[in-house]
Amino acid sequence: MTQVIDLPAQNDIRRILIMRWSALGDVVISTTAIEDVRRAFPNALIDLNTMPAYTALFDHDDRLNDVFAIDLRKTERGLKGVWRWLKRVRQGRYDLLVDLQSNDRARFLVSLLRLTGPHPRWRIGCHNQFPYNIAASKDISPTAHVFDRTRSALSNAGIPQSANQPVLGLSPDNESNCARLLAENHLTDRPYAVFFPGCQAAGFLKRWGAERYAALAGELVQQGLDKVLLVGGPDEADELDKIAELAGPAVINLCGQTRLLDIVPLVQSARFVVSNDTGPGHIAAAADRPITVICGPTDPARVKPVGSQVTTLQAEQDCLNCYCRKECDDHSCMVAITPAQVVQQIVPHLP
């Protein structure tokens, strides 16, 4: 049975494990919980269990003692991965486990840990079920934003919540790479914006479209912006190349020239950001700059980045929030959002 308890009053909590496996946006949001747990337990050792793709996000995070990844979905799927996970967690001798993943696989592993040997005395979960003895309140919907579920669970553990945007550990290389890119493109001390026009290839329906991003870039430059920077990875190269071709000198295509954490200093100097529902948009929220997220097939109430300057745009359509689970012939939820609507939302941040 779950309970509400003041964990910070428990002086025997010296080792803590936080679990957050995926996806990129949710892993970034989990850094708010890491920050709150660190503040509540300043002397404890905190480890993070995530997936291999996300360990680099924490290479320079001095709040964490260790970051370990076990690929339970691919290379270590099955009993091999389960055994290695149990062995690694038991070796940690944790007093507190915080499961932010909150799905059946994570719950199964924590249950197995609980039933088969030594286990953390305190187990926080986002759902009010076994094996967690502290959980989110029952009035928090399982489909609520992960940030809200996390805050509820931490609140029921007596852990104050003060982190309202992602907190990421940057390296000097992130700062210097950003400074180099701005200098090479003559944007130091010049007004620019950053676009994240892509998303993973499998989620292409979340893309607003190259033609609309190009038109928006042209309009913004006409209104006094110096340039728009296009940022993305290999899966998004074709989309960014098309925008660059259509927009011409209004944009600078930085596809493939930035690492994930380079996004933070790059956005810190920008006037604003426009993004699809994509992981890098969540990273950009750590810079605390105005962000407009364009949503269609995904619900902004569930997917928006965490931050006080984040706003969303979504058209009124009968087929909204389909989550890309069906064929779409007209992409109407995105087509209905015009560049003029986006401009209207970001006018206060123009030069």
Q: If pLDDT is split at 50, 70 and 90, which confidence band does 207 have? A: very high
Q: Indicate whether 44 pLDDT > 90.
A: yes
The pTM of the whole model exceeds 0.85? yes
Q: Indicate whether 3 pLDDT > 80.
A: no
Map residue 279 onto helix, strand or coil. helix
Q: Indicate whether 6 pLDDT > 90.
A: no
Q: If pLDDT is split at 50, 70 and 90, which confidence band does 304 have? A: very high
On whether the CB atoms of residues 48 and 34 are closer than 8 A, the answer is: yes
Of 12, 18, 30, 14, nearest in space to 97 by CA: 18
Residues whose CB falls within 8 Å of the CB of residue 147, separated by 6 or more in sequence, listed in order: 29, 32, 306
Position 18, amino acid: I
Tokens linked to 244:
């660059």
- 3-state SS, one letter per residue, for 29-71: HHHHHHHHHHHHCCCCEEEEEECHHHHHHHCCCCCCCEEEECC
Question: Rounded to an integer, what distance in angstroms lies between the CA atom of residue 349 and that of residue 347?
Answer: 5
Q: Indicate whether 323 pLDDT > 70.
A: no
On whether the CB atoms of residues 281 and 198 are closer than 8 A, the answer is: no
Tokens linked to 149:
């579920």
| Structural domains present in the chain | 7-156 (3.40.50.2000), 173-349 (3.40.50.2000)
On whether the CB atoms of residues 274 and 216 are closer than 8 A, the answer is: yes
The pLDDT of residue 77 is: 87
Mean pLDDT of the 281-291 span: 98
